[in-house]
């Protein structure tokens, strides 16, 4: 795909996410409106209307939230984040260094081992 197509797809996706968020907010506002301004709250009709509005809001708000979570912009509390695949290469740490028993070596020992490695020359 061309770069212009990718930019267009990102704009479309952003517009769809904004529309979904706005519609979700409208459904939540409708549920709040019925809850606050209906004369009798605990009627079957009112509870049905409120539950339908909240389910519809959930349906419209789930996609933007899942998109943000997949992009890494929405952290999930109390979960460990997996390191990004390129993070180890950017930091220069490389693959984990293990000792003879298979345990991970502390970072300071790993840096000492990296300094002790002989540098490969470009001559051959």
Token representation of residue 2: 């061309």
CA distances from 32 to 37, 38, 46 (A): 8, 10, 11
Q: Higher confidence at residue 20 or residue 41? A: 20
Q: How far apart are CA 31 and CA 28, in angstroms?
A: 5
State mean pLDDT over 14-42.
94
Q: DSSP letter at 124?
A: -
State mean pLDDT over 101-106.
81
Q: What is the pTM of this model?
A: 0.60
Mean pLDDT of the chain: 83
pLDDT at 122: 57
């Amino acid at each position: 795909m061309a770069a212009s197509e990718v930019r267009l797809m990102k704009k479309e996706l952003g517009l769809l996410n904004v529309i979904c968020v706005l519609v979700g907010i409208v459904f939540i506002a409708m549920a709040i409106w019925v809850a606050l301004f209906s004369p009798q709250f605990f009627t079957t009709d009112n509870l049905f209307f409120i539950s339908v509005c909240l389910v519809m809001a959930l349906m419209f708000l789930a996609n933007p939230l899942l998109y943000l979570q997949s992009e890494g912009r929405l952290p999930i509390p109390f979960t460990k984040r997996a390191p990004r695949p390129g993070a180890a290469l950017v930091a220069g740490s490389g693959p984990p260094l293990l000792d003879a028993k298979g345990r991970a070596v502390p970072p300071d020992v790993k840096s000492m081992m990296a300094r002790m490695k002989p540098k490969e020359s470009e001559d051959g």
